[in-house]
Amino acid sequence: MIGGDLTEKALRRHLEGLPGVDAVGLEARAASLATRSIKTTSKQWALDAIIRMIDLTTLEGADTPGKVESLCAKALTPDPADLTTPRVAAVCVYGDMVPHAVEALGEDSGINVAAVATAFPSGRSSRTIKLADTRDAVAAGASEIDMVIDRGAFLAGHYGLVFDEIVAVKEACMRPDGSYAHLKVILETGELNTYDNVRRASWLAILAGADFIKTSTGKVSPAATLPVTLLMLQVVRDWHTLTGERIGVKPAGGIRASKDAIRYLVTVAETVGEEWLQPDLFRFGASSLLNDVLMQRQKMNTGRYSGPDYVTVD
């Protein structure tokens, strides 16, 4: 089904022809970046930036409209004691909870509603169901779709099948007015086994039309890691160099402390540049990270800040 100038053979040749990842070098680079902090003269800027980049998430079988409404209230007013606290980037829910999130957030909140789709988290269903899942969420008002790739097909080498599915889901993101919900493609890097596979999957997703590439569902261990995110950022950097197009990156799962989130900000700035330090190009998929950031922000405002020092990155 691959169309245009891209054939299955060409796709395979490109993905399998990518240079192998230097795992030792990648992990050493990530470890080096983790020892530094973000280039800024404002400690509060970093904490506020993290809040603005959070996709506040609830993805449990026990989710109820009431729970989603409470999550939206937190998204709108993260710290009722400090109304200068910025709002998060998005609320991320299952598709059937989208109408409740849309209603709770109201119009003009500036907060996106993201829906997981395509048989999240396993991706194990027919394409017909996956596309219906996506269309239903978009019709209900989701402005972003977080889809999962078919990891089984990818690991079996069926790259064309995975490519075509992403293309089809992208088309299913189209609204009646011709605009599109943003598409985040979840690679589930914890199941891809190797850095080489992460690089191939990142390239594949971008070639198929992803607006964002995302590490994980948060349901598989390991979820987001700094080396994997660094590798995905390198792919995004190389794509931008080739095409001028900016693709977003979203690490998700396991990022719970502000000090860890700051390491990701440093990695972004040092790999793709500070222009990526905005919600349109970098997100955190998190449920508990916001609580720690708010605590550190409160401590800093009261003179009892216990977070890391912020030093200039050379």
Q: What is the DSSP letter of 110?
A: -
Residue among 130, 170, 184, 250 flagged as catalytic: 250
Q: What is the DSSP letter of 148?
A: E
Closest CA to 118 of 106, 108, 109, 128: 128
DSSP code string of 207-229? HHT-SEEE---SSSSS---HHHH
Q: What is the DSSP letter of 183?
A: E
Rounded to 5 degrees, φ, ψ at 194 are -135, 155
Determine contact, residues 131/117, Cβ cutoff 8 Å: no
| Residue 250: active-site member | yes
Q: CA 293 to CA 310: how far, in whole Å? A: 15
Closest CA to 200 of 232, 246, 248: 232
Rounded to 5 degrees, φ, ψ at 199 are -65, -45
Q: CA 88 to CA 294: how far, in whole Å? A: 12
Residue among 146, 150, 211, 260 flagged as catalytic: 146
| Residue 67: active-site member | no
- Within 13 A of 218's CA, how many CA atoms are on the CB side? 22
Residue among 43, 130, 184, 214 flagged as catalytic: 214
Structure tokens at 271: 């790999």
| Residue 299: active-site member | no
Q: Which residues are annotated as catalytic?
A: 146, 214, 250
